[in-house]
């Protein structure tokens, strides 16, 4: 195309509650330094019983629709791996809650933590076909492992909403992409389970292999060299993983690995993920939010993205920050979403974690807990009933 395509607006939301790693460590006897230093996590977002991927997604997307209107939105792509229905797309509930036009297509995408990037790339293609159209890309997830497992410390929850358009106000997304797919069982969730299964150490080496593979494909397709990037947004199942991945990439490319250099490239991307936890599909874009909201002027700077989804698919691509981007950021809103969370003790977390109503098929009114703009009000006749507050 002879016009730029990319991120025109960006907004993030998270859950009502927060569980700190001090509280988790006090409960399970771990040294809290393992969490703070070893995996680079301080706390995790926990949705209230009346929150889920839909309510967080609607909370993230509402300000985007309020700012730009809905008339140009012809497609809603909802990426998630913590789906609430095996058939109906979660995006249709969001479409309804936000009053989007009937003349739109809505679909849900899945490939573990990667599918937000698939959605973004598909959105670029749609705008390339017709530059008057906008695509609302949503990535929303609640990360849940069994209590008492090593994965428990890496749970979290968040949603991001990204408006993709021609001549974007925030970031141009570039060609080429580097892709990598390998059939591997490092992390998965069979249909009959509400918590994920994971082979922890295997998942880390699978991630690193995928970084190599995606980078190789990127360079073979004529991508930029490593020196051209100001920062790198990695998928962050825990923030230390971004450091591991970048170290691996530099090493693989034959660079002398310098801790200061890695910190310069990664440091400003981890702030939100360190306090929110793993938000699966949203995580790599929360890294971007953290960078844009907290770094000094990034105008005309190029940012690398490495999106990884277990199973596995990875993609490396580049985006360049557009002049004037700062006046379009939602920094105060993002900080408020983090700061407004109420801290909970382990007993409250356990009650929410082990709550069984979504899978028992019964009719329930859901207690009102969230102070956010949307809530799951109840379940009746196997249907989820949402309301705007
Ligand atoms: N002080 C400082 N550091 C400490 C410490 C202490 N007291 N105790 C341990 N550490 C360090 C360890 O050395 C280790 O760091 P390195 O890997 O750099 O050596 C780190 O803390 C973690 O310790 P362990 O490896 O012993 O921890 P663990 O085995 O209990 O759990 C985990 C780690 C496997 C990542 C686990 O959290 C897990 O299973 N997480 C879920 C899976 C996951 O996130 N995988 C990531 C790649 S897959 C992916 O990215 C997709 C996705 O979203 C799931």
pLDDT tens digit string along 129-140? 999 999 999 999
Output the CA–CA distances (angstroms, integers) from residue 193 to 23, 88, 248, 358, in the order listed.
Answer: 26, 18, 33, 12
Helices 200-220, 240-252: inter-axial angle, 10-degree rounding: 50
What's the pLDDT score for residue 128? 97
DSSP SS3 for 309:
strand
Give the ligand 1 atom nearest the CA of 280: 53
User: Residue 383: its pLDDT value, please?
Assistant: 94
Active-site residue (options: 113, 133, 233, 334): 113
**What is residue 258's predicted lDDT score, i.e. its pLDDT?**
87
The CA-CA-CA angle for residues 102, 103, 104, to 5°, reads 95
Atom 51, ligand 1: residue with shortest CA distance: 310
Residue 235 designated active-site? yes
- C-alpha to C-alpha distances, 81 to 72, 102, 281, nearest whole angstrom: 27, 26, 7
Q: CA-to-CA distance for 221 and 209, rounded, in angstroms?
A: 19
Q: Identify whether 315 is a catalytic site residue.
A: no
Query: What confidence score (pLDDT) does residue 359 get?
Result: 66
Looking at the chain, the whole-number percentage of residues with pLDDT higher than 90 is: 96
Nearest Cα residue to atom 17 of ligand 1? 38
Interval 206-237: pLDDT, tens: 999 999 999 999 999 999 999 999 999 999 99
Coil vs helix vs strand at 381: coil
Active-site hit among 8, 21, 51, 81: 81
pLDDT of residue 362: 85
Please list the ranges in the chain whose pLDDT falls under 50.
none
- pLDDT tens by residue, 239-280: 999 999 999 999 999 998 889 999 999 999 999 999 999 999
């Amino acid at each position: 195309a002879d016009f730029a395509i990319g991120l025109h607006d960006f907004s993030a939301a998270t859950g009502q509650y927060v569980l700190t790693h001090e509280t988790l460590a006090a409960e399970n006897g771990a040294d809290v330094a393992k969490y703070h230093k070893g995996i680079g996590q301080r706390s995790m977002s926990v949705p209230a019983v009346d929150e889920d991927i839909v309510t967080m997604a609607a909370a993230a997307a509402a300000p985007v629709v309020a700012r730009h209107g809905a008339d140009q939105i012809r497609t809603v792509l909802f990426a998630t791996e913590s789906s609430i229905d095996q058939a109906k797309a979660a995006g249709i509930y969001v479409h309804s809650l936000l009053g989007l036009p009937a003349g739109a297509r809505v679909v849900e995408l899945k490939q573990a933590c990667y599918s937000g990037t698939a959605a973004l790339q598909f959105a670029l293609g749609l705008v390339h076909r017709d530059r008057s159209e906008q695509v609302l890309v949503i990535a929303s997830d609640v990360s849940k492992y069994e209590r008492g497992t090593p994965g428990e410390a890496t749970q979290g929850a968040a949603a991001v909403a990204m408006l993709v358009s021609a001549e974007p106000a925030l970031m141009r997304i570039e060609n080429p992409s580097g892709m990598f797919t390998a059939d591997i069982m490092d992390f998965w969730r069979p249909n009959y389970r509400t918590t994920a299964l994971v082979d922890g150490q295997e998942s880390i080496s699978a991630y690193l292999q995928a970084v190599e593979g995606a980078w190789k494909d990127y360079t073979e397709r004529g991508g930029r060299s490593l020196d051209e990037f100001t920062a790198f947004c990695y998928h962050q199942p825990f923030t230390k993983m971004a450091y591991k991945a970048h170290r691996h990439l530099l090493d693989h490319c034959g660079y002398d690995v310098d801790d200061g250099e890695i910190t310069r490239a990664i440091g400003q991307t981890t702030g939100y993920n360190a306090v929110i936890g793993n938000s699966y599909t949203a995580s790599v874009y929360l890294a971007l939010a953290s960078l844009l909201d907290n770094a000094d002027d990034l105008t005309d700077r190029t940012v690398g993205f490495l999106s990884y989804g277990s199973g596995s698919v990875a993609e490396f691509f580049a985006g360049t920050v557009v002049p004037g981007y700062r006046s379009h950021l939602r920094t105060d809103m993002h900080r408020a979403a983090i700061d407004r969370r109420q801290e909970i003790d382990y007993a409250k977390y356990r009650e929410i974690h082990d709550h069984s109503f979504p899978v028992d098929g019964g009719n329930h009114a859901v207690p009102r807990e969230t102070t956010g703009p949307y809530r799951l009000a109840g379940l009746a006749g196997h249907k989820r009933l949402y309301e705007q507050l």
